[in-house]
A and B are shown apart, each in its own frame.
Chain A
C-alpha cells in the first residue's frame, strides 16, 4: 500500500544546496513506492534479462525528489538512496516469493557451490543478510557493495560518492566481495 500524500514530493521542504543525507533518508519512505514503480518498470523493460539499469533509476529518483530543481540534492545522496531502494525492492520481492512458495515468512537460503556457479545462484536474501553483517563490521565497505551491485555504479562513481580514491574503492570492493562470498559459502 503506497503512502498517501496530498502534495507533490517536490514541494516538501528542500534541504540546502549541499544536500542533506538525513533529510533524504526521511524522504525515502515517501518516495519509496514511486521509486519501486520506476524500478519495476525498468526491470521489466527492454533489457531486464540482461542487467539492471539502476543509474536510470537514480536519475528518475533525482527528478522525483527534487522536482525541477535539480541543484539541491547531491547526486551522491540520490545515488545512495537509489542503491538502497533497489536493494529493498529486490529483497522485498524475493521475500514475497519465498512467502508465496512456502506459505509463510520463513526465509531459507539456498546454498550455492562456488565451484559450480551454474548451479542454483545465491539468493539475494542471503546477500542482503551477509551485507547487513558486513555493515556492522565495516559500514563503508557495505555501502560500496550496495552502490556497485545494487546501483550499478562504476568504480569512479563510487569513489566520487564516498569521496575516496578509485584505488581504495577497488581494494575495498575486492576485499568486501571476497568476504561476502566467503560468508555465503560458509553458511
Chain B
C-alpha cells in the first residue's frame, strides 16, 4: 500500500469516527469514491467500535503476562544445596529464586525457604547485599519475623540462605477468608507493627512491606518475610538515593518513588497502606485497572479517599473489608497520618503508629491530629531556637548598638538556619531509631534526642568496627546533631573520632573527611570563649578547602571556603570578604547568578560590608539579593523575610527609620503569610517593626505592635522567657524615646526580673534593660537609684565581653552621670575620663561616641571654671563633638558657644572668632 493511500485511509478514518454512527456510511460514500479505500475505512471503523467494548490488544498482552507469571520454572527440584534438598520453587525475590526445601539427610523434618542468588546475576553489589541480608537476619529474632535457619555456599559457589518456611497466606487474604472483625484485624496489625518496630530498633528498615511479605500461619501467627531489600541503616549513608531500589509500586512511599532518602518513616507509610487495605479491601493509591505509573503518581500527588469511602463497596470481595461506618474518625486519622507525603509529618515511629491503633482499640483518644496542626507545631519547634536567638536582639537608646547587635544575631541565624531542618530530621530519625520501647516515657524532645544519641554512641563503640567509612559518616551525622543541641564538648569528641576514621580511609573517605573538617571548624566558632579552639578551627577549615580543591568540585569547595570565611570574620574582615568573593565566583560559574546558594553568599558579603561599617555598600548588595530572591524564590520563602529584615536593620543603622519601616513591614507581611498570625516568627517581625516605628516617634503605633508581639511570645515561650523579656524592654524603650521616662521604668524592671530568672548570671542580654533603666532613672534625676543598676550593667559588660567593646565604657560614662547627679564630682570625672580613654582606643578620637564623655568633661570643667581644660578638650575632640551632635543643630550650637566662650576666656580671641565664624 502506498504511503498516500495509507494516509488517505487514516484521514478518512478519523473523519468518520468523529461522526455519529448513523451518519457514517452516508458520509463515507459521499467523500470517497475509491471503493477499496472505502471498504478498508469501514473495516477499521468497525474494529474501532468493537475495541471500545473489548480492548483485544490490551487483553492479549495481559493474558500473555499472566501466562509468564504462571509459567513453570526450569526443573531444579531435587537439586541439593548444603544439607537441603530443593522441593519446588515458591517465589522469586529481588536477588534470586526462593525454593521450598527440606533436610536432605532427613536429620529432622523441617522445611525451609531457601533463597539463592542466580549465577548469571551475581555481581559484587548483589553479593554484598546478600551477605548483608544474612547479617541482618542473623541478628533478628522475633516471633513475627521469619527466622534464619542456615546459610552457606551452594556447590557453584553462590551463597544461599535457609529461612523458616512460612506456609501461610497473605495478611489480607487471611482476614478476608475469615471475615475478621475490626478488632481482630487491628490486633493482627499490631503484631505486625511490633515486629517492624523490633526490626527498626535493630537498625533495619524493611523497605518493602506489603501483604505478600506479611504472611499468616494456619495458627494465625503473622510473620514478616523477605528482608531481601531490607538494608542496614548503617549502609545508607551517602548514596542511598543512587542505589538500586527495588520496591513494589502500589506500596511504595513517596520518597521511594522519588528515589529519596529511606528511613523508618518509609515503613510507617507502607504499614499505612497495608492497614488501609486490611480495613477496606482496597489499596489507597491504586485503581483496579491502574498501571504502575499512575499508582506512583497517586502516591506522590493524591490523598487517598477516606477509609469509609474506599473503592466501591461492591468491588471488594466479601469479607475483605469491615463495614465502612466503623472506619470514620480516628482510624481514618491514623491511616492518614501514616500516609502523609512528607516523611516528617508521619508518625515518628512504628511504635507511635501502634500506640494510636491501640488507643483506638481501647476507646481512648488517638494522638494523631486530623488536621496539619502537628505539622505546624513541628515547624514551630524547628524554628523555635532560631526565633529565640533572633529576638533577643535588643534596642538600646544609643544609636549604633542596636544594629550591630542585631546583626551578629542575624548572622548566627543565617548560619544555623540551613542546617536546622536537617538536624531536626536527623534528631527525629535517631530518636526513632534508638529509642527504647518505653511507653511510659514522657520526656522532653531534646532529652530524648540526646538519650538517643548517647545510646547510638554506646552502640557505635562495638558495632560497625569493620566499616570505618560508614562509621565515619554516621559519626559525622551524630556529631553535627550534638552540635545542634549545643552539646559542643561531646560533638567535638565525636567529630574528631569521625575525622580520624575518614582520614584513615583515604579515597572516598576524603569527601567525608572534608565534611567532618567543615563541621569541626564551625564547631570551634560556635563554642564560646576558651572552649573554642580558634586556631585549630581555622586549620580544619583550611584542610577542608585543600581536600575540596583536590576533588575539584566547585560547589563543595565554595562551601569549604565559607567555613574559612567564618573564621576570618572574627579577625580579618577584608580576608573574609575576599574569601566570600572567591566562593561566590565558584558558585556563580557552577550554579548561575541567581541560585539560592549564590544569593546566600552575597548575603554574607553584605554582612561583611555591614561589619566593616560600609553600610551603604551592604544595602546595595542586600537590595540586589532582595530583588533576585523576589524573582527566583517562591513568594513564601522565609529567606526573603530574612533579607528584608536585614535591609531594615541596615537602614536603621543609618537612622533611616522610614526605610527600615518599609522593609520591616515587608518582613512582617511575609511572616504573617508564611507562619500565621500567632507564630514566633511573626512576633519577631512585629517586634522589629516596632523598633523602627518608635524611633520615628510614633509611640502609640509602636506600643500596639509590641502588645501583639508580647501576647504571642507569652503564649509561645511562656511569661518567663528571653523573648518576652526583650519585648518588655522594647516597650520600655517606646516610652523612653517619647521622653515618658517614668512610664518606661516599670517595663525595664519587669524585663530585668524575667531575664534574671531565665538567663545564667552575667548574660549579656541582661545588660541592655539595666543600661536603659539607668538612663531613664538618670533622666528622672533618680541618680542614686540608677547607680547600683548601672554598676550591675557595667559588671555584665566587663565580664561577658563579646563583640561590643564599647558597652563597658559607655556604661562608665552613664555611671559618671549618676555620680555627678549625686554631687560626687571626683567620681564622675574619673568615670568620664576612663570612658573617654577607652572609647578613643576603640573608635579613634573622631567617633561620635567619644563626644559623649567629652561633653560631660567639658561640663565639669565649666563647673569648676577651668576654660583652659574646655579649650583643650574641644581642640582635641571637636570632630567627635560635631559627630555627637549630628542632626542636632541646637546642641551643636551650644557646644560651639561654649568653645568660643572658653577661647575668649583664655584670651585667644582670634581662634574664638574663627570657631564662631565657622558656624
* Contact indicator A178/B120 (Cβ below 8 Å): no
Q: Does B571 contact A (CB under 8 A)?
A: no
Which residues, 36 to 79 on B, are CB-close (under 8 Å) to A?
43-48, 50-51, 53-69, 71
Size range of the chain B interface in the assembly: 35 or more
Contact A149 B58 (CB under 8 A): yes
- Expressed in whole angstroms, the Cα–Cα distance for A107 and B335 within the complex equals 51
Q: Evaluate whether A55 and B63 lie within 8 angstroms (CB atoms) in the complex, with A33-B120, A43-B69 already known.
A: no
A150 to B62, CA, bound (A): 9
A2 to B47 alpha-carbon distance, docked (Å)? 40
CB-CB under 8 A for A60 and B244, given A117-B59, A122-B57, A124-B63 = yes
Which of B289-297, B444-452, B487-495, B558-566 makes up part of the contact surface?
B289-297
**B291 with A175: CB separation less than 8 A:** no
Please measure, in the bound complex, the distance between the C-alpha atom of A55 and the C-alpha atom of B291, giving whole angstroms. 8
Check A182–B13 contact: CB distance below 8 A.
no
Instruction: Given the known inter-chain contacts A44-B69, A94-B64, A121-B60, please indicate yes or no for A174 contacting B294, CB distance below 8 A.
Output: no
Q: Tell me the A154-187 residues at the B interface (CB within 8 Å).
A: 154, 157, 171, 174-175, 177-182, 184-186
Digitize A34-54: 1 where CB-to-B-CB distance is under 8 Å, 0 elsewhere. Answer: 100101110111111111111
8 Å CB interface, A102-156 against B: 112, 114-115, 117, 121-124, 126-127, 137-138, 145, 149-150, 152-154
The reply to whether A41 and B294 contact each other, CB–CB distance below 8 Å, is no
Q: Is B901 an interface residue (CB 8 A)?
A: no
Contacts of A55 in B (CB 8 A): 249, 291-293, 296
Query: Does B248 count as interface, using CB distance less than 8 angstroms?
Result: yes
Q: Which of B45, B51, B248 is close to A177, meaning CB atoms less than 8 Å apart?
A: B51
Binding site secondary structure of chain B = helix
Answer whether residue A20 sits at the interface, using C-beta atoms and an 8 A cutoff: no
Q: Any chain A CB within 8 A of the CB of B442?
A: no
Chain B nearest CB from A167 CB (Å) reads 11
* Alpha-carbon separation in the docked complex, A89 to B243 (Å): 26
**Among residues 285 to 343 in chain B, which have CB atoms less than 8 Å away from a CB atom of chain A?**
288-294, 296
Q: When the two chains form their complex, are residues B92 and A41 in contact, meaning their CB atoms are under 8 A apart?
A: yes
Which chain A residue has the least Cβ–Cβ distance from B17?
A: A174
Central interface residue in A50, A180, A185, by most chain B CB within 10 Å: A50
Of all chain B residues, the one with the shortest Cβ separation from A150 is B61
Q: Given the complex, which residues of A lie within 8 Å of B394, measured CB to CB?
A: none
Smallest CB separation, B319 vs chain A (Å): 19
Contact B293 A181 (CB under 8 A): no
A24: which B residues are within 8 A, CB to CB? Answer: none
User: In the assembly, what is the distance between CA of A55 and CA of B244, in Å?
Assistant: 15
- The answer to whether B291 and A93 touch across the interface, beta carbons within 8 angstroms, is no
Contacts of A43 in B (CB 8 A): 65-66, 68-69
CB pair A37–B121 under 8 Å, yes or no, is: yes
In the complex, are the beta carbons of B44 and A2 less than 8 A apart? no
A112 to chain B: which residues have CB within 8 Å? 56
**Shortest beta-carbon distance, B229 to chain A, in Å?**
12
Tell me the bound Cα distance from A97 to B46 in angstroms. 32
A124 and B60 within 8 A (CB): yes
Residues of chain A within 8 A (CB-CB) of B249 are 53, 55-56
Whether A2 lies near B62 (C-beta < 8 A) is no
Question: Do B68 and A93 have beta carbons less than 8 Å apart?
Answer: yes
Band of interface residues on A: 35 or more
Query: Chain B contacts of A46 at CB under 8 A?
Result: 210-212, 248, 250-251
On whether A154 and B47 interact (CB within 8 A), knowing A94-B64, A184-B56, the answer reads: no
Specify which chain B residues have a CB less than 8 angstroms from the CB of A22 in the assembled complex: none
Name the distance in Å between A11's Cβ and chain B's nearest Cβ: 10
List residues 335-366 of chain B with CB under 8 A from any CB of chain A: none
Contact of B60 among A8, A53, A126, A137 (CB under 8 A): A126
Contact A182:B47 (CB < 8 A) given known A41-B92, A137-B1:
yes
Q: Which of B224-251 contact A (CB under 8 A)?
A: 239, 242-244, 246-251
> B51 to chain A: which residues have CB within 8 Å?
177-178, 181
Taking a contact as CB atoms under 8 Å apart, the answer to whether A117 and B53 are in contact is yes
**A55-B296, A185-B47 as given contacts; A44 in contact with B92, CB under 8 Å:** yes
Decide if B93 is an interface residue (CB 8 Å cutoff): yes
* In the complex, chain A residues whose CB is within 8 Å of the CB of B121: 34, 37
Question: With A52-B291, A117-B59, A137-B1 as given contacts, are A45 and B242 in contact (CB-CB < 8 Å)?
Answer: no
> Which of B13, B47, B57 meets A149, CB within 8 Å?
B57
A14 → chain B closest CB, angstroms:
15
In the bound assembly, the distance between CA atoms of A144 and B291 in angstroms comes to 16
B483 → chain A closest CB, angstroms: 30
Q: Which chain A residues border B48 with CB–CB below 8 Å?
A: 174, 177-178, 181
Are the CB atoms of B64 and A45 closer together than 8 Å? no
CB distance from B41 to the nearest CB of A (A): 10
Q: Given A41, A68, A137, A180, which contacts B57 in the complex, CB threshold below 8 Å? A: A180
Residues facing A in B362-383 (CB within 8 A) are none
- Chain B residue numbers with a CB within 8 Å of A174 are 14, 17, 48
4 closest pairs, A vs B, by CB? Answer: A117-B54, A124-B64, A48-B69, A182-B47
Q: A70-B242, A181-B47 are in contact. List 9 more A-B contacts (CB 8 A).
A: A8-B123, A46-B250, A50-B288, A55-B292, A90-B65, A94-B64, A121-B56, A152-B293, A175-B44
> Can you offer 13 A-B residue contacts whose CB atoms are under 8 A?
A40-B92, A43-B68, A48-B65, A49-B66, A56-B249, A114-B56, A154-B294, A177-B51, A179-B47, A181-B47, A181-B50, A181-B56, A182-B43
